[in-house]
Amino acid sequence: LIYKCGGIDKRTIEKFEKEAQEMGKGSFKYAWVLDKLKAERERGITIDIALWKFETAKFYVTIIDAPGHRDFIKNMITGTSQADCAVLIVAAGTGEFEAGISKNGQTREHALLAYTLGVKQLIVGVNKMDSTEPPYSESRFEEIKKEVSNYIKKIGY
């Protein structure tokens, strides 16, 4: 999003891509815009919140990247409590989605926390669609959309 909105230049992304490939994590080039800690890059997860500010023709935007991992929920709360709008990323992979949407899953917990913290606008993004069977399965997307929509409506979105 930061790159697509012009908040970071192509040369910097290419630098991150090269560094990520050297560590065997080529697909993490965009994550590395905000994941600066060595541990974050090695483990492939966000640990601490990170901010990135940029302007568009209409808006002044601050992106707050917050961790999704259960071990760093306090950091997620810190980041989310400052937000006007949240983007909830839901993994489409078999088993991964089911774990997140389960009774004690992170998808549910993060959506509920965002609402409880006063975030009244929620965008849901589905990633890892390439890992569905078959890849980019429309029926899998629709299943995820239905289940997540039902849950977030129940909590107030």
Give DSSP secondary structure letters for 107-144. Answer: HHHHHHHHHHTT--EEEEEEE-GGGSSSTT-HHHHHHH
Please indicate, yes or no, whether residues 105 and 52 belong to a single structural domain of this protein: no
Binning pLDDT at 50, 70 and 90, where does residue 152 land? very high
99-144: pLDDT as tens digits: 999 999 999 999 999 999 999 999 999 999 999 999 999 999 999 9
Q: CB neighbours (10 Å) of residue 66?
A: 25
64-97: pLDDT as tens digits: 999 888 889 999 999 999 999 999 999 999 999 9
pLDDT, the chain, mean: 94
Please indicate, yes or no, whether residues 74 and 42 belong to a single structural domain of this protein: no
Domain range for 73: 67-157
Residues of the chain with pLDDT > 70, as a percent, come to 100
Residue finishing a domain among 65, 91, 119? 65
Place of tokens 């989310």: 80
Please indicate, yes or no, whether residues 23 and 44 belong to a single structural domain of this protein: yes
Residue 7 has pLDDT above 90, yes or no: no
Please indicate, yes or no, whether residues 73 and 49 belong to a single structural domain of this protein: no
Residue 56 has pLDDT above 90, yes or no: no
Residue finishing a domain among 65, 89, 120? 65
- What pLDDT score was predicted for residue 55? 86
Helices 73-80 and 106-116 pack at an angle, to 10 degrees, of 40
Residue 6 has pLDDT above 90, yes or no: no
